[in-house]
Amino acid sequence: GAGVSQSPRYKVAKRGQDVALRCDPISGHVSLFWYQQALGQGPEFLTYFQNEAQLDKSGLPSDRFFAERPEGSVSTLKIQRTQQEDSAVYLCASNMGVLQSPLHFGNGTRLTVT
Amino acid sequence: TQLLEQSPQFLSIQEGENLTVYCNSSSVFSSLQWYRQEPGEGPVLLVTVVTGGEVKKLKRLTFQFGDARKDSSLHITAAQPGDTGLYLCAGAKAGGTSYGKLTFGQGTILTVHP
């Protein structure tokens, strides 16, 4: 496809369960970003990859959050022992990784923790 | 922590009216981007402003970057129902190298009534 693809679109988890969210960026995009968007708020940065290297994970809210991009393309955001406050839309975005390269967002995964 | 204050949070107007959305910060940004987000979708980039004092026009939308690169505005002329959506401003940190790690405002929900 031409755009950033995320799956699943919706995920309901019971508190304490582990979840894995997938992002398939635009082909050729070296940079990949994860953002968290709470209801009624703007997105907040979580983490950033350049190819397979995770260069910035300063936005991950706790050590329950883990992201990987082992082959420099598809990325997975894993949340262990989910809590209610983890409920949000998780957005993935990618770009060419050069100055003023536009950021392309996927449609997100809406996570609801019950 | 860099913060972007966006105002107003909600805007409900009639078709044909003009409106302005503001994005303010005490921090300097290397660039400021404006996005539009529809329900259930990811943000879509409208414009990037880079130079202090820069003005860009996109049909009925006019974007301005403040001289000190700390604030920006979005002005819509003769709003139409199709303009309805969530508008987000986002700043890239001065000196940053990720070219995609952005600080977002909390968004403005615009509703244009026919």
**pLDDT tens, residue by residue, B33-80:** 999 999 999 999 999 999 999 999 999 999 999 999 999 999 999 999
**pLDDT tens, residue by residue, A5-57:** 999 999 999 999 999 999 999 999 999 999 999 998 999 999 999 999 999 99
Percentage above 70 pLDDT, chain A: 99
Chain B residues whose beta carbon lies within 8 Å of the beta carbon of residue A98? 99
CA distance B55 to B42: 25
pLDDT value, residue A101? 85
**pLDDT tens, residue by residue, A59-72:** 999 999 999 999 99
**Closest Cα in chain A to B89:** A42
pLDDT value, residue A1? 53
pLDDT value, residue B2? 63
* Closest by CA position to B36, among listed B76, B94, B93: B76
Strands (E) in chain B, as ranges, are 5-7, 10-14, 19-24, 29-37, 44-49, 55-58, 61-65, 71-76, 85-93, 102-104, 108-113
Cβ separation B99–A108 shorter than 8 A: no
A10-40 as b/e: b if 16+ CB within 10 A = ebebeeeeebebebbbbeebbbbbbbbbeee
**Closest Cα in chain B to A100:** B99
**pLDDT tens, residue by residue, A70-81:** 999 999 999 999
Would you list which residues of chain B are within 8 Å, Cβ to Cβ, of chain A?
4, 6, 31, 33, 40-45, 48, 50, 88, 90, 98-107
Would you list which residues of chain A are within 8 Å, Cβ to Cβ, of chain B?
4, 31, 33, 35, 40-45, 48, 50, 55-56, 91, 93-95, 97-108
pLDDT value, residue B60? 97
Cβ separation B101–A97 shorter than 8 A: no
* Closest by CA position to B38, among listed B73, B88, B78, B80: B88
Smallest CA–CA distance, residue B108 to chain A, in Å, is 9
Smallest CA–CA distance, residue B17 to chain A, in Å, is 25
Cβ separation A102–B45 shorter than 8 A: yes
**Closest Cα in chain B to A99:** B99
